[in-house]
Each structure stands twice: as C-alpha cells, then as structure tokens.
Amino acid sequence: MMLETLVLLLTGHLLGDFVLQSNWMVDNKQKPHVLIIHVTVVVATTAVLLGSLHWPILLLIFASHLAMDAIKTRVLADNFGAFAFDQFVHLAVVFGLALAYPNAASQSLWLLLLPADIVPLYYTALTFISGLVLVVPAGGYLIGSILGPLISELDSELKGLNKGGQFIGWLERALVMLFVFVGQPGSVGFVLAAKSIFRIGDIKESSQRRIAEYIIIGTFLSFGWALLVSNLALYAVRYW
C-alpha cells in the first residue's frame, strides 16, 4: 500500500500548495496567522484524501510545512533556488512519510465507502489530478521563478492583460497534457505554431530582441515542462 499512501499524500500537498493557496495567502504569508491558515489547509486536504485522522502523518506534515514555509518567507530570497528548495523539502517529507507509514492508505474511510472495483479509479483520478496540478499551476510557479530576473528587466516593455501571460501558460500546458493523454503528442506542434503566430508582433522588430528572447525562453520552458510531466503522469495513471 506504499504507492497508494504516496499518491494520497502527494495529491494533498499539491492541491494545498498550488490550488488552494490563494494569492492573499502568498502575499501575506509572512504574517503568522496567514501562514498557519495555509498549513492548516494543506493538512486538512491531506486528511480528507487519506480518509482518516492519521495523527503522526498529519502532525509531521503540519510541523515540517510550517517550519519550511516560515524559513522560505523570512530567510530565503524569492527566487528559483528558494522555490526549488522549498518543494524539495516538502516532497522529501511526503516520500519519507509514505515509506514510514506505508499502510496508512489501508486505514482510509474511502476503502469502506467505495465499492472495491471503484477504489483503483479513485487512485487513478488522484494520480491524474497530481499530474494536472504539476503541469499547470505548479509549472507556472516554476517557470515564473526562473523567469523572475528577466521579468524585472522587461516590466516597462511588457504590456498586456492583467495575468494574461499566466492564463496563456496554463492553457498551453493543459493542451499539451490533453494531447499526450489522448495519444496525439504531435498536435503539440500546432499549439506551439499558433503561439508563435500570435506572438509574431512582439518579436519581429530588432529593437524588441529582449522581449523575443524572453518569449522564446518562456515558451521552451513551458512546453518542455508540460511534455515531461505529462508523459510521466500518463505512465503513472496506466499503473492503476
């Protein structure tokens, strides 16, 4: 049951950190009560997916997540290195807990409520959700942390809809994942071509070379991450 426990804990972390964490939480996490609210949401989400109040797991997640986020917020700079270290620690705790308590999934309330033939579908759905979160919102945080220094140089030159770039990134990575899952990875080329056409006005002038380079770097990062994680998620889903 170790893999089942891992899927439950991993999905709980990803949903709590990248879906259920609002912009208000991100902007105010240096305040103790906001940080505690965020960590509580992560723990509560994990408890719901586990289908049990497994206190050792929940307490360790609460303590480790609270400590790591406090360090990140108060000590580390807001950059790719801090983001990568933060997620590495969280994921290491998740994997460690799955190894230490491999049978936690067997204590789940969902095993009692769901028919036996539906239980594999539950884990399949959670595996897909984890992949989707990694591809779309988590990928956005990752790419944003890498491009952060470049964005600061281009603030005066980049004009567009509020969060327009974020939504474009979400949509393109979601489409990549869709094409991979339906067995049409070659269609990713059409998405890439369409984005290139729509961006041609941004990059055709030699005076806009910095913008062109920023767009190219961001595009390769976005599509590369989406292809990598989508294929890994597809293999994981097929396991169930």
Q: pLDDT per residue over 188-226, tens digit each?
A: 888 787 776 666 555 555 556 677 778 888 889 999 999
Pairwise CA distance, residues 50 & 30, whole Å:
29
What pLDDT does residue 140 have? 95
Residues 22 and 95 in one domain: yes
Residues 105 and 55 in one domain: yes
| pLDDT tens-digit map of 59-116 | 999 999 999 999 999 999 889 999 999 999 999 999 999 999 999 999 999 988 999 9
Q: What number of other Cβ atoms are within 10 A of residue 198's Cβ?
A: 10
Q: Assess if residue 65 is contained within a domain.
A: yes
What pLDDT does residue 67 have? 97
Q: Assess if residue 49 is contained within a domain.
A: yes
Compute CA 222 distance to the chain's CA centroid, rounded to the nearest angstrom. Answer: 13
Q: Assess if residue 21 is contained within a domain.
A: yes
- Token pair, residue 73, equals 């917020």
Question: What range does the domain containing 72 cover?
Answer: 2-113
Q: Assess if residue 192 is contained within a domain.
A: yes
pLDDT band at residue 28, thresholds of 50, 70 and 90?
A: very high
Span 37-64, mean pLDDT? 97
Q: Assess if residue 79 is contained within a domain.
A: yes
Percent of the residues in the chain that have a pLDDT greater than 90, as a whole number: 72
Q: Assess if residue 131 is contained within a domain.
A: no
Q: Assess if residue 6 is contained within a domain.
A: yes
Residues 6 and 105 in one domain: yes
Compute CA 30 distance to the chain's CA centroid, rounded to the nearest angstrom. Answer: 21
Domain count along the chain: 2
Residues 159 and 207 in one domain: yes
Residues 160 and 227 in one domain: yes
What pLDDT does residue 205 have? 57
pTM of the model: 0.90
Torsion angle in degrees (nearest 10) through CA of 112, 115, 117, 119: -40
Residues 53 and 155 in one domain: no
- Token pair, residue 62, equals 């609460």
Q: Nearest 5°: phi and psi at 110? A: -65, -30
Residues 215 and 166 in one domain: yes
Higher pLDDT, 165 or 93: 93
Q: Assess if residue 146 is contained within a domain.
A: yes
Residues 157 and 96 in one domain: no
Residues 71 and 13 in one domain: yes
Helix (H, G, I), strand (E, B) or coil at 22: coil
Percent of the residues in the chain that have a pLDDT greater than 70, as a whole number: 89
Q: What's the DSSP call for residue 104?
A: G
Residues 161 and 218 in one domain: yes
Residues 101 and 155 in one domain: no
Higher pLDDT, 165 or 166: 166
What pLDDT does residue 210 have? 72
Residues 106 and 15 in one domain: yes
Q: What is the mean pLDDT of the chain?
A: 90
DSSP symbols for 147-159: HHHHHHHHTTT--
CA atoms within 13 A on the CB side of 77: 7
Q: What's the DSSP call for residue 77?
A: -
